[in-house]
């Protein structure tokens, strides 16, 4: 049987990364629903697995990031999910009412965000893309190619730049 890591890598090698297909392959249910406007997503137990709910009003790029963030909670903190974890617009569990989960701390959110960026913006691919633009990236093109916000791409590009220049 193929392991979770291998499965994730196989999805991660093809743009735009199919986060929905990956969730399905991991036996997680993904639904879109009317959530409070300040809530981006929720992960909660459902049957023998978990269900991820995305705010249907969100832009599709944001939904993808939220989905990847919730996948991060599932991968790293499934033992802390309890009755569920809600994520507000800034991807913190505070002010998400019944989905406010006090076990999920800032470091867990950071880990889920790092996973989401790692999953949706594979370093090697972005490095190649940035090189091909010779210092003048077309962020609209890249945003479409990765199906993610320009803001998220720029953050990742800055991290990559720092790493590349420190090598
Ligand atoms: Zn979160």
- The predicted-structure confidence for 45-64, as pLDDT tens digits, reads as follows 999 999 999 999 999 999 99
pLDDT grade for 167, boundaries at 50, 70 and 90: low
Distance 51 CA to ligand 1 centre (A): 14
Distance 42 CA to ligand 1 centre (A): 8
**Domain map of the chain by residue range?**
4-120, 122-167
Distance 116 CA to ligand 1 centre (A): 10
56/35 Cα distance (integer angstroms)? 8
Distance 147 CA to ligand 1 centre (A): 20
pLDDT grade for 135, boundaries at 50, 70 and 90: confident
Per-residue pLDDT averaged across 79-106, rounded?
92
CATH topology of domain 4-120: Arc Repressor Mutant, subunit A (1.10.10)
% of the chain residues with pLDDT over 90: 87
Per-residue pLDDT averaged across 66-91, rounded?
96
Residue 98 clears pLDDT 90, i.e. is over it = no
Distance 27 CA to ligand 1 centre (A): 20
Distance 64 CA to ligand 1 centre (A): 14
Distance 107 CA to ligand 1 centre (A): 10
pTM of the model: 0.94
> pLDDT per residue over 105-123, tens digit each?
999 999 999 999 999 999 9
pLDDT of residue 78: 94
Note residues around ion ligand 1 (Cβ under 5 angstroms): 87, 91, 109, 112
pLDDT of residue 115: 97
Distance 112 CA to ligand 1 centre (A): 6
pLDDT of residue 161: 81
pLDDT of residue 1: 63
Distance 81 CA to ligand 1 centre (A): 10
């Amino acid at each position: 049987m193929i392991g979770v890591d291998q499965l994730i890598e196989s999805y991660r090698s093809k743009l735009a990364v199919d986060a929905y297909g990956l969730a399905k392959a991991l036996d997680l249910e993904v639904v879109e629903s009317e959530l409070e406007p300040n809530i981006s997503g929720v992960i909660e137990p459902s049957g023998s697995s978990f269900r991820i709910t995305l705010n249907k009003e969100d832009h599709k790029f944001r939904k993808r990031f939220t989905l990847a963030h919730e996948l991060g909670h599932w991968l790293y903190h499934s033992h802390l999910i309890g009755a569920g974890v809600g994520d507000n617009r800034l991807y913190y569990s505070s002010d998400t009412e019944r989905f406010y989960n006090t076990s999920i701390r800032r470091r867990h959110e950071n880990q889920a965000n790092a996973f989401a960026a790692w999953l949706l913006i594979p370093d090697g691919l972005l490095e190649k893309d940035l090189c091909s633009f010779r210092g003048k990236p077309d962020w609209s093109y890249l945003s479409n190619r990765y199906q993610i916000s320009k803001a998220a791409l720029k953050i990742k590009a800055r991290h990559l730049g720092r790493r590349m220049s420190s090598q």
